[in-house]
């Protein structure tokens, strides 16, 4: 899944939760799996590249994915 689609999916789930809608644990677990996969891909790419611009972009995306992963874990535990 592309980064932007993953971010959109995350935002939609969080918005539903904040509006008081119930989020199924299966959806949260699937989101966590996608985020974990994306995190490992970015970490591998970060190790493999020497291009400073590309590294900066990957580090930023990795921070976003880590934050989303932590938030989704919090949502799963509060459900």
Pick out the chain residues at pLDDT < 70.
79
pLDDT number for residue 76: 83
pLDDT number for residue 47: 95
pLDDT number for residue 18: 87
pLDDT number for residue 77: 85
Backbone region of residue 7 per phi and psi (left: phi > 0; alpha: psi in -120 to 50; beta: other values): alpha
pTM for this predicted structure: 0.87
Rounded-to-integer distance, Cα 56 and Cα 20, Å: 36
Total count of residues recorded for the chain: 79
């Amino acid at each position: 899944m592309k980064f932007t689609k993953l971010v959109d999916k995350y935002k939609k789930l969080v918005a539903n939760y904040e509006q008081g809608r119930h989020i199924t644990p299966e959806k949260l677990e699937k989101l966590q799996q996608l985020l974990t996969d994306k995190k490992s891909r970015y970490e591998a790419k970060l190790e493999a590249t020497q291009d400073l611009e590309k590294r900066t972009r990957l580090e930023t995306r990795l921070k976003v994915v880590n934050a989303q992963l932590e938030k989704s874990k919090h949502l799963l535990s509060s459900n």
